[in-house]
Amino acid sequence: MLPRIIKYGLKRIIILFITVVIAVYITIWIANIGGYVDEIVKSDILLQVSQSVRQNPAYRGLNETQITKIINEIYENELKKIGFDKPFIYRSLIYLKDAITLSLGRALFLSSDSGSKSVRIIILERLPNTVLLFTTTQLILFFIGLFFGLFLSRRYGSFLDRLSVLLAPLSSLPGWFYGIFLILIFASFLRLLPYGGMVDAPPPADKLAYALSVLKHMTLPVLSWLIAYSFINVYVRRTFFLMFSSEDYVEFAKAKGLPDSIIQRRYILRPTLPPIITDFSLTLIGSWMGAIITERVFNWPGVGSLFYMASVMFDTPVLVGLVVIYAYLLAATVFVLEFVYAILDPRIRAGVT
Amino acid sequence: MSKVNRFFSQLLLYKSALAGLIIILFLVGISIYTVITIPYEDAILLWRAGEQYWLDNPRNALPSWINLFSQRKLPETIILTTERLQVGVSKAIVPTERFSVIKIKFSFNYAYDDFPSEINLFFKAKFNTSSPHLTISWVKPNGEKITLRTLLVSKGEDSYYISNDKVLADDLKKYISNKINNAIPYDPPITLMLFAQEDTTILSPDTSRVMKGDYELWIDGIVFETDVDLDAKLVVYGKIYGLAGTDHLRRDLRIALLWGTPIALSFGVTASVTIALIQMFIGAVSAWFGGKADTVLQRVTEVFMILPFLPLLIMISTLYKFNIWVLLVVVIMLTVFGSGVKNYRAMFLQIKEFPYVEAARAYGASNIRIISLYLVPKVLPTIIPSIVISVADFVFLEAALAILGLGDPLAPTWGKVIDDAYTYGALYKGLYYWVLQPSIMLALTSLSFAMLGFALDKIFNPRLKEM
């Protein structure tokens, strides 16, 4: 019994790992646009070298050909130092190895607020902001969906139920779109809440005041997502619970005369929980990669804005670093979920061979 | 036929579907009207012509219909020119032996409740060597005449931006302060000082009121030449314009709002239909052939699910500045191996076991025949609702790219207007119409498709309908 599960686990780990490796390698290629970023980096270095040489008083007396020669020498050395003398296909494999071992290296153009060029520091500086904002949002959304979904599934056909069906299309508008309206109303018109950002400038020194300031800045982005995605969440959960409420074993439990609360907990919630948890964990992990446009609209200094800046500036190491972290997180989550279900669910356990 | 009829009568039962359908038809109507009346090339030209082309339009003007809902009537733009025959314009150039006398008079009635946004004077002068020496004066409804400035006009096109004249602003402020025996405590714009009642109300921008009545602008000039011609155009810019107002470059927003419709509709519909069909095909192949093909396709799908879609799209469009149709192709290529493939595969795995599929296999149908005639048609109705709903997502994707400053560099789209408005601080400055109009169009479009899609879902998937 046990060895079988371990064997299954190992097999899944290997498959997931290979998937991650391939995805990261593709990202490296796309993020370098097949070597185009090389040209940007090279011309950047050449510009820097020639500027520093031409402004260096020690070379002032030399003529043009001598200066060009010196520039070329320093330039070639600089290239060798960062390994750019090798062809891209060779370097892409080194990048891959570095990425997979999580030695994320240095950013090309971006730097962290503290002035560091290390990709790890840049990402770690942004990640907590995004996690704070979107984990809060997703948790609230999750419980709204669960609670109202259950509530409405019991009151099928009631006014509230039909209202929830009617309002579900409102979720076709994305969160950032509602965000613009919220800014318009609460920031521009009523002047109650800030336009964007994460904390007042200058940041309050007091810890409590700081937390309150962050909370104030979080209100609008969280609210915009709640408005955008609550309706569809409730609708999906409600429909999901309704489907399970008509299963034979639920009918049987009702016939036995079990109280509603037990039916709900044991006969509806328990069998539906695995897919709901799966859905929630994947959404949560996905949300940590930030929402580029929401973060732009609210000027939130999170991973989404970082993603945006890295893509616009072609900062490949940052992009690859973000993708690697995301891929590992996703793969780990998928693995844990599969493994837990394989152990817990007798139907899946039977299929483990 | 009766089947089709029944479908539609069922569809009409759902009021939200009906509402959605009506809005979609309305949008399609707008699209057809737009494509016919403003050809695409013209629209791009108009939208990218630069400020020079729109010089007669007010900057950041509200839409005209705003006056219907407000007691305070906002001014429209008044354009008076000597280049064509017009009421309220007179021009006389009287040559004598050695010089010519120019006399141009513009008169207009101003009965609005708010001050104009700008006042400009444009000249077109024709002469040989001696440039016309002009005196510009302003006559208020109470008959008072103020000399604004004396100036020399250069050959060809010239202009005098009256409302930007700093010297004039100082002079007027002193003049009015003296007159009412009270120093004006702030710097009133020239437009206010030229049109306001000169009493104590002018002391604050909140209490100042327009002096309604007939205004005149005189241009008196002298040229030491006889072969002279001078045309002038007075533009008193209002605060409202057209059906949709104008933006910071004085462009008529109507063009972008109109052209945004066909672009959004075609982008959204093409993307969602193409992507759904290709994903479905991949899912069918994966489920039908199983084995190695299945493994490979599923692994590829998983790889694509890890790739960050939007950042890659941003990189590609930053680098290449694609027009919107190439962008569409890129979007499709990046999403064909999306999570949809997994859902479709699961559906096809069930259908694969159906007896009629087995029968088809038994009579020796080819793989392609089974996939395209037996598998896909079975799933198609169940996915039509989600195709319709996802149109909204792609409409917003285009807008999102525009808001990130990417997207088509030329085409006038709703997203571009929102982006412009955002970049130029429309929300800070209270220019809400600028953001609201394209937003409402976006919301209408995606809501209509979503409402239709949700209703279709109940019709095509009756298991949900019973619920």
* Prediction pTM value: 0.82
Contacts of B431 in chain A (CB under 8 A): none
The model's confidence at residue B463, banded by pLDDT at 50, 70 and 90, is low
Strands B156-160 and B118-126 turn out to be antiparallel
Contact B467 A33 (CB under 8 A): no
B80's enclosing H/E stretch is strand B78-81
* A100 part of contact set with chain B, CB < 8 Å: no
Q: From the centroid of its chain, how far is CA B115? A: 26
- What CA–CA distance (Å, rounded) separates B270 from B268? 6
* Close Cβ partners of A196 (under 8 Å, ≥ 6 residues apart): A183, A217, A297, A298, A299, A300
Contact A20 B306 (CB under 8 A): yes
- What CA–CA distance (Å, rounded) separates A183 from A191? 9
Fold of B72-237: Jelly Rolls (2.60.120)
Residues 265-294 of A with CB under 8 A from B: 289, 292-293
Cβ(B137)–Cβ(B171) below 8 Å: no
Cβ(B248)–Cβ(B327) below 8 Å: no
pLDDT value of residue B12? 65
Give the residue on A whose Cα is nearest the Cα of B318: A312
Alpha-carbon gap: B440 to the closest alpha carbon of chain A (Å): 10
Provide the number of CB pairs (under 8 Å) joining chain A to chain B.
134
pLDDT value of residue A201? 80
* A311 part of contact set with chain B, CB < 8 Å: yes
Cβ(B257)–Cβ(B417) below 8 Å: yes
Contact B447 A172 (CB under 8 A): yes
pLDDT value of residue B467? 40
**What are the Cα distances from residue A254, in Å, to A258, A259, A260?**
6, 8, 8
Residue ranges of chain B assigned to CATH 2.60.120:
72-237
Write down the residue that tokens 């009346």 correspond to. Answer: B37
Contact B451 A177 (CB under 8 A): no
Could you read off the pLDDT tens digit of each residue along chain A, which spans 353 residues? 567 778 878 888 898 899 899 989 988 888 887 677 778 888 888 888 888 888 877 777 777 788 888 888 888 888 887 777 788 888 888 889 988 888 888 888 888 888 888 999 999 999 999 999 999 999 999 999 999 998 888 888 788 888 888 888 888 899 999 998 899 899 988 989 888 888 888 888 888 999 999 999 999 999 999 999 999 999 888 888 888 887 888 888 888 888 888 888 888 888 788 888 888 988 888 888 878 889 988 999 999 999 888 888 888 889 889 889 988 998 899 888 887 777 766 665 555 44
pLDDT value of residue B98? 83
* A31 part of contact set with chain B, CB < 8 Å: yes
Name the more confident of B445 and A205: B445
Contacts of A297 in chain B (CB under 8 A): 403, 422
B129 pLDDT higher than 90: no
pLDDT value of residue B276? 92
Q: Is B332 exposed, middle or buried (0-12, 13-18, 19+ CB in 10 A)?
A: middle
Write down the residue that tokens 């029944």 correspond to. Answer: B6
Contact B450 A183 (CB under 8 A): no
Name the more confident of B170 and B338: B170
Contact B303 A22 (CB under 8 A): yes
Give the residue on B whose Cα is nearest the Cα of A20: B303
B78 pLDDT higher than 80: yes
Fold of B2-49+252-466: MetI-like fold (1.10.3720)
Q: Measure CB to CB from residue B319 to each of A36, A183, A188 and give the nearest one.
A: A36
Mean pLDDT across chain B: 87
Alpha-carbon gap: B355 to the closest alpha carbon of chain A (Å): 25
Cis bond upstream, residue B189 (ω within 30)? no
The model's confidence at residue B239, banded by pLDDT at 50, 70 and 90, is very high
Give the residue on B whose Cα is nearest the Cα of A330: B306
Cβ(A28)–Cβ(A38) below 8 Å: no
Cβ(B338)–Cβ(B326) below 8 Å: no
Alpha-carbon gap: A81 to the closest alpha carbon of chain B (Å): 27
Residue ranges of chain B assigned to CATH 1.10.3720.10:
2-49+252-466
Contacts of B454 in chain A (CB under 8 A): 165, 168-169
Contact B389 A30 (CB under 8 A): no
**What are the Cα distances from residue A104, in Å, to A69, A81, A121, A325, A331?**
34, 17, 10, 10, 19
Half-sphere exposure for A348 (CA within 13 Å, toward CB) = 12
Mean pLDDT of B371-384: 85
Give the residue on A whose Cα is nearest the Cα of B402: A293
User: CATH classification of A127-311 is 1.20.1260, yes or no?
Assistant: no
Residue ranges of chain A assigned to CATH 1.10.3720:
127-311
**What is the percent of chain B where pLDDT is above 70?**
97
Contacts of A321 in chain B (CB under 8 A): none
